[in-house]
A and B are shown apart, each in its own frame.
Chain A
Amino acid sequence: MRFDTVIIGGGLAGLVAGISLQQAGHRTAIVSTGQNALHFFSGSFESMEEAPERLKTLFAGAGIRLHYSAGVRLMPLGVFREAALSLEDVSFLPDPCFADKVLILGIPGYLDFFPSFLAEGLEKQGIVCRTSMLNLPESVRESPAEIRSVTLARMFDRNWERVVQQVRLLLKDEDGVVLPQVFGLEDPSVPERIRQGIPARVVFAGTMPPSVPGIRTQLLLKRRYEVLGGTYLGGDEALEARVEGDSVRSVTTRNLDRHALEADNFILASGGFFSKGLRSNPFRVWEPVFGLDVAYDEDRNAWYNDNFAEEQPYMNYGVRTDEALHPLVEGRPLQNLYAIGSVLGATRPEFGSGGGLAIRTAFSAVDQILEAV
């Protein structure tokens, strides 16, 4: 199978690159194992200094509205973090004191949301807090062991009016309501509808993973990519590359067996250790598809900081690239391959980290591919 560009990795970086290239009329394919960091996306980007209009437009095309303004967001454990660019339903606030009195609503048997921590964090801001519980339909309460964010979001996609009714009944004199981020998995309009139905300022606070806004973002971006004609090979895994000279010719995958994916350009957006873009054993760290040069410490004792709270050196490891994001093999760049997102670790600090790194490097690779045509 032949494409203009083959992208390995279906996370934020891979999808942004894929959508951009499809929009420019390229024929692309994305090879994705399925799960990626978007499933744990907090919903906002911490390192976006400038407003990237290009990203906003791209997300808007997928039906995702981004909110840009300097402010804070309420983290699940009750602390505030600075945020610039956030999904619309993320607990983004211009300032921590968003209300005088707040009603925090938990869900019976749902342990992945922390009203006590949130209340303590808000009370520190001088906000008066009251906690209460939403009432769940009997059918869900039957199996409390399975009450997780995605299960709840699926149910609330159909029953969001009941949530609005209940909140209105529970509300006394509060001018703010905090709800868990478990709304709008398949139907992205649900958080906004809930917000409009409640006569108080509604804030959705994060939960333990999986992240409902993150999964929704992934679903919408993937849908957009496919609408634009992209070939999304989900549940597949890139295995091996055929390289001739300084160019990649093709990549084989687990599902396609002998039918290698051929392309003019390749993008490696396979993520860090968690996503298996990097692998490790007691002796080394390697990149499994192309065997790229990886920047890491040879002495394993240097991989870690024994303090959990400190920065961990291994999280900075990533593939080595030249100026143009072409990864190196034994010091020589592969001219038609680009490495983007977390597989770079902290080897290219000028592109930022996390979501910012994914987006900036994706755009950089896309621009280079389009310019060369």
Chain B
Amino acid sequence: MDPREFDVIILGGGIVGAGTLRDCAMRGLRALLIERADIATGASGRNHGLLHSGARYAVNDPESAAECIVENRILRRIASHCIDQTDGLFISLPEDDMDYQRTFVDACLKAGIGAEIIDPALARQLEPSVNPELIGAVRVPDASVDPFRLCASNMVDAKLHGAQVRLRTEVTGFIREGDTVRGVHTRSAQTGRTADYYAPVVVNACGVWGQQVAEMAGVTVGMFPSKGALLIFAHRINNMVINRCRKPSNADILVPGDTVCIIGTTSTRIPLENCHRVSVTPDEVTLLVTEGAKLTPSLSETRILRAFAGVRPLVSDDSDPSGRNISRGIVCLDHESRDGLKGFVTITGGKLTTYRLMAEMATDLVCRKLGIDKACETATTPLPGSQGRSYEEVAREIWEAPSTAQKAAAARLGDVVTRMPNPSRQDEALVCECEEVSAWEVNNAFERMGVSTLTDLRRRTRVGMGTCQGELCACRAAGLLAKAQDCAERERADLLKFMGERWKGSYPIGWGDTLREAEYTQWVYKHVLGL
């Protein structure tokens, strides 16, 4: 068998690509995923980390709401190690319309979402950080999800099922024979080496960049990039997701995630060519803080860690190229029936919460094209790491009395941890104190998870995501990567790039303690370390 030939090639290493790769591999297809940069670099890694209950969409988009709640329940089972089952509140403030609460709850119940009106006093008891002036509260099954972990787990499991992944590999063109796509030309971003890969079906799962990829294949998919700005706070203020019970608006969701919490978002249409470089403006910061403080007053007193923005891959309607009628649902396009181009499929739109369903739809279509009749099993087969045990049980399987760092590792990696070589004492040295990441976890990510830069490492281990934003841990991790890759010179450049990327998220909120920390970081890196 020619190693360049596959049954299916998936383009894009976001959550949808990763999920599709896993589904295809589980159905026995020889699958290859090609990603230009690293896993979860687009919208998959630039969001709230909210596992929607669907409640937010219940009133305006009941179909999406119903999809969300079904997927929400599935992911709690199959991806338990990526999900923090926090539940959520939809709160009404004195200026909000209480009639909307009734409409909201009815719509939720109709969509199958267990929404329960609770006494504001009980809401304050459940979530002490909530605005005490609330006049109404609805409890819903929202949750918090780590999108990086979810994406990595899908990739890992796909690989366990025989799939292949090429990261840092760019598609430079399609191999076409008449009206049929036969494969893709690629170039490695690291080595510059070119390679061709062949498959009877190619899946475009490139999110907002899917428009350019489709163009390259010779068909049109109109994306409507919508920028959302978010802020990360230095503490986990809330334990439940807090939403505002009103029509979806700016800055009305606060999601707890690991040691931090995230407020968002805004919604601004931006040109496609700007999607690579989105930044947060001072006005957006002000808006997010002001509106966020209405959910949780202590937000205005809490240090902001970072500002970031993502781009939603919204799709314009086929019949409406002007984009006035944008769909927020899942879009799965068979370009053979739509455009007469055989062997090419686009899966886009949708949400992080519905990635598995999107992957199932794309894989169903691929299988139909290949004449394969095999049912999807991703809804019932847990991801590696989520075999139904708590992280404490997992940690205890390796360590007699696990430390917090060991428990953190078990929580991040799930039960995969038990299959890794046992760490030596020395390996347990802490790299990242904020997120409690040990040298062992860093080395594991390097050896088994396709890490070649500090940014890759951050996406897989949370190194540099905590309070210090990489000030201390980046350097320690760079020391380990320099040793593992035996190239100190490249790693020094990587370290500078990583700190530059962290700074891009810090300076929009550079005042108070953030500015203090920034001054310290500048001093340490320039004058003490000599970067």
A interface residues (Cβ-Cβ under 8 A, vs B): 37, 40, 42, 46, 75-79, 81, 108-117, 119-121, 141-142, 144-145, 147, 206, 208-209, 211, 272-274, 276, 279-282, 300-301, 303-304, 306-309, 312, 314-315, 354
Contacts and interface: CB of A to CB of B under 8 A. Distances in A.
B492 A276 contact: no
Give the interface SS of chain B, mostly helix, strand, loop or mixed: helix
B431 A111 contact: yes
Given A76-B529, A282-B511, 11 more contacts: A75-B529, A79-B530, A112-B476, A145-B405, A206-B530, A208-B524, A209-B524, A274-B519, A307-B500, A308-B499, A309-B496
A109 B428 contact: yes
A141 B423 CA distance: 13
B488 A116 contact: yes
B436 to A, nearest CB: 9
A116 B503 contact: no
A147 B427 CA distance: 12
B505 to A, nearest CB: 11
B527 A315 contact: no
21 contacts: A46-B527, A77-B529, A78-B488, A108-B426, A111-B431, A111-B476, A116-B486, A117-B491, A141-B425, A144-B427, A145-B429, A209-B524, A273-B515, A280-B511, A303-B507, A304-B507, A308-B503, A308-B522, A309-B531, A312-B522, A314-B518
Given A111-B429, A306-B504, A309-B496, A208 B511 contact: no
A42 B528 contact: yes
A206 B528 contact: yes
A362 B195 CA distance: 65
B155 interface: no
Contacts of B507: 303-304, 306
A117 B427 CA distance: 19
Contacts of B488: 78, 116-117, 119-121
B188 to A, nearest CB: 24
Interface residues of B, number: 52
B524 to A, nearest CB: 6
A77 B530 contact: yes
Contact of A272 (B431, B499, B519): B519
Contact of A314 (B286, B510, B517, B529): B510
Given A108-B426, A114-B479, A120-B489, A300 B405 contact: no
Contact of A308 (B405, B496, B519, B530): B496
A144 B428 contact: yes
B439 interface: yes
Contact of B516 (A142, A274, A300): A274
A192 B511 CA distance: 43
Interface in B320-360: none
Contacts of A314: 510, 515, 518-519
A276 to B, nearest CB: 7
Interface centre among A79, A141, A308, A312 (most CB of B within 10 A): A308
A206 B526 CA distance: 13
A81 B488 CA distance: 18
B430 interface: yes
Contacts of A42: 527-528
Contact of A274 (B426, B439, B480, B523): B523
